[in-house]
Structure 1
Amino acid sequence: MQPETLAPTPARLGGFDYLIGAIAIGLTLFQIWHGLVAELSAPVFLPIHLSWVLVLIFLVNPILARTAPPSLYLMGRMVDFICAAVSAWLGFRLSNFDYNDLSFLFDGLGSIDLYAGSVLIVLLLEATRRTVGWVMSAIAILFLAYAMLGDVLPNDFASKGFDLQEIIRFHVFSTNGVFGAPLAIAAGVVFVFVLFGALLQVTGAGQFFIDCAFAIAGRYRGGPAKASVLASAALGSISGSAIANTVTTGALTIPMMKKLGYKPEQAAGIEAAASTGGQIMPPVMGAGAFVMAQFTGLPYAEILLVSIAPAILYFFCTLLYVHLMACKLGLKGMDNVQKLAVVVKQGWHYLLPLIMITTLLLMSYSPVLVGLAGCLAIIIATYSRRATWVPFSVILAGLREGALMILPISAACATAGLVVGVVGQTGIGLQFTQALLAWSGGYLWGAFILVSLAAIVLGMGLPVTAAYIVLSVMAVPALNEFGLPILTAHLIVFWLSQTSNVTPPIALAAFAGAGIAGASPMKSAVQAFKLAFGFFLIPLMMAYSGLLWRADDSAWQFALAIAATIGLIIAFACGIEGRLFKRLGVLPRGLLLAIVALMLIEHPLVRLGGLALLLAIIMWDKKRAVTADNS
């Protein structure tokens, strides 16, 4: 599987670097022009965007590695250029299709258009294989096969079988498949925020947030690890990719963690878990949150607001694990940590773009315009102080990186659109909902376990956004049947889908961290999965408490939900790790795990009793630790 990474470096691109750079910058300028000036219709804009993406994918990701024999490699590059040329022609053909002539709905597509649609799907699946991995393409092929052969399956799984004409017409020449909502969101909103993240990195603004994190947490026990969590919370929310965040912040934090005393696998796992958490941290929350806004029909500002408290709790969970790990290893903080006031004084102007986009998103301005305004604000902030000026070539590099970083996202979203389209065309989603209700025995906790298992399985091969899209169209209706509100169900699925970056045996963010740490990829993935267990604990509390603030909730209900979630996190982490202030025996660990169960019971007195028991255990262990230190 090829991981979703930062854009390829010039060294990887070889002699085609200038060509690819020009095409990538051209894509970025086209996106900006469309967002600010043109506002092309979807049937025109999306085929152009996708064909541009496909051209870049076939040029950047050759079919054969450079280690292949020269003659074979040259033949492979010829195939790549043919695929790129055909992709460009497909973009022209599909963007000029006459949708006003409705005859194609009654008489069928012409032979050229039928050929064009078929070739587009084949090239899209190959491009997805090259950028995301074969699993995503295989899932799409499986769903397409179901759409075509559903009439020969047993009755429990059967559907109407659709011929090639119906498949192509539905999935290419409509807004239900390839050019459906997932690609529309990736090509519109997600692109501009990925560009925003790229500009943050190349201008030095990203380094400012890392420096702030070290200034805040560096001097405390396990300082570099805690700084990694804070930096990833800030950068991951706007970088658009957990893997990109792992690579950029991990290049600094992982060596420091190793130097302080963390094992390589622990350092890689901490960075991967923290970077993955950035995808659920407002204000941007990665690509999936914008897809959620489209699927739920709710304003993005509402999703942003209800997500703040759960996101902070996730990072509290990760920080707690990091602290317990540092205590077990006997680690100390860093020396010579720069003061926060000094860091802020040097780069306070980089905070303004982030404050601006957060404010504008909360005011429900168009996300595309907000993202473009943020990109402009980053450039203005960079040139507002002489000390942070960068050459214009750096800005061009940011435009290039933004385009190359969107390639796996757009390819995955277009392919996920095929899955969503098949679900709508065949009605398999209703069958899945009925099966999930039956297998769960009618219990919400049973459905939660099944959805979690499905998320883990999907996470072994799909990037976050694609896993969320596939899981949401299948599982959200079932969760709604248990009485969960639409936003709660989507956020649960969204959180569970994040595990795709830290789930063994294919945990791409953990593998990226392992490469920097020089650690075992699988051991790093196990560490990351443990550190990211908040992705399971907090969605549980979304389902079983008022953790997601709603207008009809009282402040007391919300406060109790927050307190219960904090109690659950502390009890679970300390019970599993066997440590509070000192190592715990079997009895206190058993009590802590019992408190976890109490926090899941939706009764205020039960939860208050559990919190009181937790507080008593904490005070007892604190007194035990003080006594041991004084003796």
Structure 2
Amino acid sequence: MTATEKDDAGPALIADGVDAEIYTGNQRIPIGTTHLVIAGLCVLYTMFHVAVMNFYPLEPWVYRLIHVGGGLALAFALFSSSLFKTGEETPRQQMAQSRYMLLLAPGAVAIAVAFLTVVSFYLTDAGISQASGKTDGVWSFGYPLVAGTIWLMVMGWVVPGRDRSRIDLSDVFLALAAVTVALYIIYHAPFLRLRAGTGLAKDADMLAALAGVILILEATRRLAGLALVLIAAVFILYSFIGPWLPGILQHRGYSMSRFFTYIYTDQGILGPTTAISSTYIILFVVFAAFLQASRVGEYFVNFAFAAAGGQRGGPAKVAVFGSGLMGMINGTSAGNVVATGSLTIPLMKRVGYKPQTAAAVEAAASSGGQILPPIMGAGAFIMSEITGIAYSEIVIAAIIPALLYFASVFFNVDIYAQKFGMKGLPREELPQFKKLAKQVYLFLPIIILITALFLNYSVIRAGTLAMASAAVVSWLTPYKMGTRSILYAFEIATKMSLQLVAVCAAAGIIVGVIALTGIGTRFSSLLLGLADQNQVVALFFAMIVSIILGMGMPTTAAYAVAASVIAPGLIQMGIEPLTAHFFIFYFAVMSAITPPVALAAYAGAAIAQSDPMKTSVESFKMGLAAFVVPFMFFTSPALLMQGTGGEIAHVVISAGFGIFLLSSAVQGWYFGTLSTPLRIVLLLAAMGMIEGGWITDGIGLAAAIFVWALQKKFVTPKTMARGLD
């Protein structure tokens, strides 16, 4: 940007840096030639997906294997096995380079042997055919691959590297192992479709799948933490110990060969979760990357500051709108908290919000972005893929619940600001709304996306058009996207998608176990039995299970797993599929702000330097409406746009007022400070309004008027007592 442009922009630079690339604690930052090589591979990875989706379709197994194998390879190259720390000497630094290389040698040689064996299959066209012996290839490929993978993975734990600018040699060979697994299964895919999961499977098939599962779990640990790894490990263990378990958990058990060859097919790792991550998710990650590279994301936040920054508690209201919009696009609650919270949280603290409240507002808003149409953090596309319900129907159904949720967060921050007499930021520090209004065309990419989807374009075509429009629109700003910027967008798109690639593959393991063992069906039967055909009780259990499964897991994985386990039982009880899946999806999203494991709240607490547990409790209060809304659209289908215009209008108005009363009860402020008894009365009034019936609406409204009259002194305890005479 030139000096003149900076002067013209003035305070509009308040959001400067929101679109900057964020590095995690274990992410490498290569330099020099290493950076160029990694950047080039990232660009090729993203371009491959865009090209296949739009121009040159590949056979699904081949495409998904390249998606998973390439993603794992880049994950090992870019993310270390542990956090980078400064100021402490590590075992690796104490060790001579020659000794370190000697320790690596057995694993590196083993993986190199396995890789060369697979290459020979392609060169000689002589793989392990159906007529081959069961143990063919185990010594030249299978055992070296598994042993080398385990050896180098343990080496990475014991003597991790500490240079962020260089890639550890152990991780180079782990990346090679991921490529080797993908190449083996791609070559043998025609045979594996017939023999995987059966007695015809070869030992080499099993060992390739075993190595692949180990690599997926290690990559997931590096990119998403231990929670999902432990859950997946429990499901894997369950596949083998079934015969010794009681009740509905019991099953006949499976051999290593049958289990691992089954799990690495389109019934497991290559199934629905990877199908979604390799299409819809990566497409919209690329869209988000284009918005980031063109700095349109900064415009969204600046626009929110111009519109609401000067109001009481202004930065908090900016967080509600700006973070919600950004969270809708990027699809990761905790990641969005880090991106926009680095700006909004300090500003919220500046105008008077407590650190834990500031972090809680950001966490609630960022998490809510994933229930905000039209993108819903890719949730709408995942739900459409799983249920077969049209995308347009899902998006329309999501509008009112999302508006109620964000209205709730907005009411909470506004009432909090009113209660403590807060003001907004000085107008001279804020972007000028008139100037930003002239750039409203920067919303065009999202408008084009919505329009294309409702014109019945495919999701892929609509997403590609939106991505291209983001580049075109940038030419009307100082940040024109040229070749370098477009390549940069492809590069950061890959980095942003790696976590989702690993997570969806790990979730595929769980989905595969559920399908193989039939535990999903039996769990649904248990749910029916516990609920005794009471749908509300069944939904309560579904809420608990969805939140528990979602704790520590990204939304995509949490929803995919919860939908596999819970949804069939709810639908069997007569609950509409759309309602059942929306219910599960909402609670999977809200697990990010639910104590005790609230990833989004913890990310906000790190920025605000507040107590993580207090922050998670505060974020739960801020997002309380999201724990009520799913029960609302169960009792009032009109909230999902299912009903007449009059029914929809009635339920929206009553629920909206109920959400306001709920926020007042939570904050302890209505038309003044609320005593505990009055908070209880207002809470009951809110529940009555939210329920949506005419009688409960009347009761709720009467209670709300009664509390208002008490606070305005129109009614006092003395006049009430006189009225009893």
Class of the TM-score when normalised by the shorter of the 2 chains: over 0.9
Give the structure 1 partner of residue 263 of structure 2.
Answer: 171
Pick aligned residue for 1:401 from 478, 488, 492: 492
User: Which residue pairs with 2:335 in the alignment?
Assistant: 244
1:258 aligned onto 2:349: yes
After superposition, residues 509-528 of structure 1 pair within 5 angstroms as: 509-528=600-619
In the other structure, the counterpart of 1:147 is 239
Is the Cα–Cα contact under 8 Å of residues 44 and 96 in structure 1 kept in the other structure? no
Give the superposition deviation at 1:550: 4.7
Fraction of identical pairs, as percent: 32
Deviations 1:55-74 (A, max 9, x none): 11111121244443324335
Amino acid in structure 2 at the alignment position of 1:21: A
User: 292, 300, 303: which one pairs with 2:383?
Assistant: 292
Which residue does the alignment assign to 1:19?
37
**Inter-partner Cα distance in structure 2 for 1:495 and 1:133:** 22
Unaligned 5+ segments in structure 1 are 626-631
Partner of 1:39: 57
Structure 1 pair 157–394 and aligned structure 2 pair: CA distance change class (3 A): same
Query: Residue in 2 aligned with 1:610?
Result: 700
Task: Give the Å deviation of 1:80.
Answer: 1.4
**Alpha-carbon distance in structure 2 between the residues aligned to 1:191 and 1:622:** 55
Q: Indicate how the Cα distance of structure 1 residues 564 and 447 shifts in structure 2: closer, same or farther if over 3 A, else same.
A: farther
**Once the two structures are superposed, what CA deviation does each residue of 1:57-115 show, in whole Å capped at 9, x if it has no partner?**
11112124444332433599232122100111122222222426865266522232222
Q: Structure 1 pair 472/267, CA: closer, same or farther in 2 (3 Å)?
A: same
Deviation at 1:567, TM superposition (A): 3.2
- 1:46 and 1:527 map into 2 onto residues whose CA distance is 41
- Distance between the aligned counterparts of 1:149 and 1:587, measured in 2? 53
Q: Is the 8 A contact 2:327 2:368 kept in 1?
A: yes
Distance 1:508 1:587 in 2: 34
Q: Give a deviation string over 1:225-252, Cα, whole Å, max 9, x none.
A: 0011011222211122222321222222
Is 1:73 matched with 2:73? no
* Separation of aligned partners in 2, 1:442 and 1:600: 24
The match for 1:61 among 70, 74, 79 is 79
Once the two structures are overlaid, the 10-residue window that deviates more, 100-109 or 493-502, is 100-109
How far apart are the structure 2 equivalents of 1:387 and 1:65? 37
The alpha carbon displacement at 1:498 in A equals 0.9
Alignment partners' CA distance in 2, 1:375 and 1:225: 30
Q: Output the CA distance in 2 between the equivalents of 1:271 and 1:442.
A: 39
Q: Normalized against structure 2, the TM-score is what?
A: 0.81
Distance 1:149 1:618, change over 3 A: same
Confirm whether residue 94 of structure 1 aligns to residue 181 of structure 2.
no
Equivalent position amino acid for 2:29 in 1: L
CA distance in 1, matches of 2:193, 2:704: 67
- CA-CA distance at 1:339 after TM superposition: 4.2
Residue 269 of structure 2 aligns to a residue in which SS?
Answer: coil
1:286 counterpart SS class: helix
Q: Are positions 1:128 and 2:195 aligned together?
A: no
CA distance in structure 1 between the aligned counterparts of 2:480 and 2:657, rounded to whole angstroms: 47
CA distance in 2, matches of 1:562, 1:103: 53
Q: What's the counterpart of residue 435 of structure 2?
A: 342
What residue in structure 2 maps to residue 628 of structure 1? none
Whether the aligned pair in 1 keeps the contact of 2:327 and 2:366 (CA below 8 Å) is yes
1:456-535 matched pairs, under 5 angstroms: 456-535=547-626
| Structure 1 CA distance for aligned equivalents of residues 75 and 368 of structure 2 | 28
In 2, the alpha carbon distance for the partners of 1:218 and 1:103 equals 61
Cα distance in 2 between the residues matched to 1:360 and 1:621:
51
Give 3-state SS (helix, strand or coil) of 2:254's partner. Answer: coil
Q: Which runs of 5+ in 2 are unaligned?
A: 1-20, 96-158, 716-725
Deviation at 1:257, TM superposition (A): 0.9
Counterpart check, 1:235 vs 2:326:
yes
Distance in 2 (CA, whole Å) between partners of 1:153 and 1:10 is 39
Letter of the structure 2 residue corresponding to residue 77 of structure 1 = D
Is the alpha carbon distance of 1:597 and 1:386 closer, same or farther for their aligned partners in structure 2, counting shifts above 3 Å? closer
- In structure 2, relative to structure 1, the CA distance for the partners of 1:482 and 1:608 (3 Å cut) is farther
Alpha carbons 2:332, 2:554 under 8 Å: kept:
no
Q: CA deviation at 1:427?
A: 1.3
- Give 1:463 shift: 1.4
**Residue of structure 2 aligned with 1:582, choices 672, 695, 699:** 672
Equivalent residue pairs, number? 617
Question: Over the residues paired in the alignment, what is the CA RMSD in angstroms?
Answer: 2.4
**Which residue number corresponds to residue 139 of structure 2?**
none
Rg larger for: 2
CA contact (8 A) 1:276 1:501 kept: yes
Counterparts of 1:6 and 1:565, CA distance in 2: 39
Quote how far apart the aligned CAs of 1:46 are: 0.2
**Residue type matched to 1:88 in 2?**
V
Equivalent in 194, 199, 205 of residue 113 of structure 1: 205
Letter in 1 for 2:646: W
Measured in 2, the distance between the counterparts of 1:302 and 1:316 equals 22
Matched to 1:91, the amino acid is A
Conservation of the 8 A alpha-carbon contact between 1:444 and 1:482? yes
Q: Per the alignment, do residues 462 and 98 of structure 1 end up closer, same or farther by CA in structure 2, a change over 3 Å counting?
A: closer
Matching residue's letter, 1:344: A
Match of 2:471 in 1: 379
Q: Is the 8 A contact 1:498 1:535 kept in 2?
A: no
1:313 aligns with 2:433: no
TM-score (norm 1): 0.92
1:146–1:303 distance in 2 versus 1, CA, 3 Å: same
Rounded Cα–Cα distance in structure 1 between residues aligned with 2:691 and 2:600? 34
Matches within 5 A, 1:184-199: 184-199=275-290
CA distance in 2, matches of 1:602, 1:438: 29
Return the letter of the residue paired with 2:71: V
Report the more deviating stretch, 205-214 or 150-159: 150-159
Distance 1:132 1:606 in 2: 44
Q: Deviation at 1:335?
A: 2.1
* CA positional deviation for 1:27: 0.7
Which residue of 24, 32, 48 maps to 1:30? 48
Alpha-carbon distance between aligned partners in 1 of 2:42 and 2:498, rounded to the nearest angstrom: 10
- Quick check: 1:537 aligned with 2:537? no
Deviations along 1:442-476, one digit per CA (max 9) or x if unpaired, are 43332233222223322322111111111111111
Aligned counterpart for 2:174 among listed residues 63, 70, 83: 83
Contact 2:28 2:79 in 1 (8 A): no
Return closer, same or farther for 1:11/1:541 CA change in 2, 3 Å cut-off. Answer: closer
Q: Is the 8 A contact 2:26 2:82 kept in 1?
A: no
User: 359-368 or 464-473, which moves further after superposition?
Assistant: 359-368
* Distance in 2 between residues matched to 1:510 and 1:401, nearest whole Å: 25
Measured after TM superposition, the shift of residue 482 of structure 1 is 3.7
Pairwise CA distance, 1:615: 4.6
Q: Is the Cα–Cα contact under 8 Å of residues 459 and 503 in structure 1 kept in the other structure?
A: no
